[in-house]
């Protein structure tokens, strides 16, 4: 017979809420975005250490994501940028610009070489992490919110209010589109 003991560790009670929460791949660190001052805070996931706020940003952090190796953190911001952070040193590596609207989604490819961002400007942008350059812009007809890579890295799914698009990640060819039926919108 197997028994599981479940415990909860209270890490914080931010005064103005948390926009996002992500756990490191090794499960030892939690990062919150948009809490407190609007920045990011690093937490020991076991509640052993003190929270470490990262420099107060000029603009509010929205979403956060760890790279698969846990060495890089990506953060979105209301200033329409993608921030890349060295996790160990808790310092900013780069601010990538290109979106014309708020950046509302972020996801790393499974190999950790590419990060995708979605925006209220109707685009998804893919960024090469080695060069910090934009690789491609994928377009939707409306604000793009959710996005996700498949675990094998072969697919990128992106969505707006009415459409989910599936892209073959190696070629970025649009392969399938799923739309809501007009009757469902009424």
Cβ contacts of residue 69 below 8 Å, gap of 6+?
25, 112
Residue ranges of domains in the chain: 20-185
**Tens digits of residue pLDDT in 120-157:** 999 999 999 999 999 999 998 889 989 999 999 999 99
Beta strands in 2-113 (DSSP E): 20-23, 29-35, 39-44, 52-53, 61-66, 72-77, 81-86, 91-97, 103-108
Per-residue pLDDT band at 6 (split at 50, 70, 90): very low
**Tens digits of residue pLDDT in 166-176:** 999 888 877 75
Mean pLDDT of 101-129: 95
Residue 136 to residue 16: CA distance in whole angstroms: 35
Contact 103, 122 (CB under 8 A): no
Residue 120 to residue 137: CA distance in whole angstroms: 13
Indicate whether 63 pLDDT > 90: yes
CATH number for the segment(s) 20-185: 2.130.10.10
Output the DSSP codes for 22-36.
EE-TTSSEEEEEEET
């Amino acid at each position: 017979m197997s028994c599981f003991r479940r415990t909860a560790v209270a890490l914080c009670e931010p005064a103005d809420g948390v926009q996002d929460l992500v756990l490191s791949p090794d499960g030892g660190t939690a990062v919150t975005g948009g809490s407190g001052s609007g920045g990011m805070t690093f937490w020991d996931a076991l509640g052993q250490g003190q929270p470490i706020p990262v420099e107060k940003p000029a603009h509010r952090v929205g979403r956060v994501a760890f790279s698969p190796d846990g060495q890089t953190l990506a953060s979105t911001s209301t200033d329409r940028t993608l921030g890349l952070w060295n996790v160990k040193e808790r310092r900013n590596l780069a601010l990538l610009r290109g979106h014309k609207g708020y950046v509302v989604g972020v996801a790393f490819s499974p190999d950790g070489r590419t990060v995708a961002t979605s925006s209220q400007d109707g685009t998804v942008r893919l960024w090469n992490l080695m060069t910090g350059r934009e690789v491609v812009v994928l377009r939707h007809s409306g604000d793009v919110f959710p996005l996700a890579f498949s675990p094998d890295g072969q697919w990128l799914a992106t969505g707006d209010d009415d459409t989910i698009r599936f892209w073959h990640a190696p070629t970025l060819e649009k392969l399938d589109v799923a739309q809501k039926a007009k009757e469902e919108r009424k």
